[in-house]
Structure 1
Amino acid sequence: MGLSAALKNTATRAQHGGFAGRSALSQRLARPTTPLGTENDCPAVGFRRNSRQTACHLGNVCFKAFNSIMYYALSELGKPEGETDRLAIPVAGDDVRAKQIVMGLVNDMGFDPVDGGSLAESWRQQPSTPAYCCDYGAEKTLEGIKAAVRGKAEQIRDTEWREGYGKLFANNPAYADVHADIIAMNRSFNPL
């Protein structure tokens, strides 16, 4: 299912009570908001905003999702619910009931939603952590989230990750041609 169809499906389910007991939340989300943060804290490239800052800035419910999957996987590798080898996407946020809507969106897009914990713990799905852009299923993604060590990802990201990406993209390849290499590199940083 494509992104626009998944968004429409999820919005329709939310508006018509498809997420049991969420009518007040549905009204809140019907207002113009940005409830999903996809950004990563990457000081090496000049970006220092995290999901908690975004939530405070917006003054609204905010979740971190879709930051730990590469565009190619998001656009090409989704599968219907129940199929084997389905990739997972972690969802971090503080509103447990609203998180079910975001997890429903992830599912509608063809991926297994994984509870990534609170926004305060969303660093566990940042670049160079064990769950970041590794194209794992739900079980392995959860294992990666639990295995993350604060401070380790920054060291990897600012050295090995930066060097590895530089080499992979040195000749301006089409992304689809290097996707498998990127996943292998990301997995090599934090073997599970």
Structure 2
Amino acid sequence: MDIEGLKIEDSGENNTITVEEGSIFKGCRIILKGNDNNIYLGKALLYKNLVLNLKGNNKRFEVKATSKNINNLKFTSIRGNNQVFTIGENFSCGGIEVQMNDGDETFTIGNNGLFSWGIKVRTSDGHSVVDLATDTAINLPKNVHIADRVWVGEDVSFLKGSKIATDSVVGSHAVVTKAFEQGNCVIAGFPASIVKENIKWDRRMPYEYNKTKA
């Protein structure tokens, strides 16, 4: 496969890479070292500095079609097998770094997500925290799920087990450490908590939005 702006290094077997026509790629790279992995890139206005680094088997990475730009999306999964990362329709981002490196975790982003830059996602800790009484690791990997229509501010961190419900906003520099089941709210702080309820958000600027109500 020869696509301008997208470099592919595949040293495994039975890997599938599907790239829908019509996207522009700039400085993008896919590295596969394993077997039976599945990559799907839907049509986007622009993929810029996309880096996928997968080692292992039977992993799935999927981005559905969007009319917007996807910038600086970096996905690393260099240990374990069977991890799944899916992004819904009409996603846009300035920069997000995802690491899924231990078990068979899943990370999902729903439709119409708006992500700023400097965002980090970790589905595991990478090393063990061991209970001395039982000599067992107690910090096992957990899935991360971000629902439809979530706006994420800059420099937000999502740790294992994080969940954000529909039509929510995650404020800049928040550190999300748990599941939030309530939608239509603003989540912020370290550790993150609900700071405002009964909201929705819109891609238009505030003055522009309010003019529609005049």
> By percentage of residues, which structure has more helix?
1
Q: With CA pairs under 8 Å and 6+ residues apart, which has the higher RCO, 1 or 2? A: 1
> By percentage of residues, which structure has more strand?
2
TM-score, normalising length from structure 1? 0.31
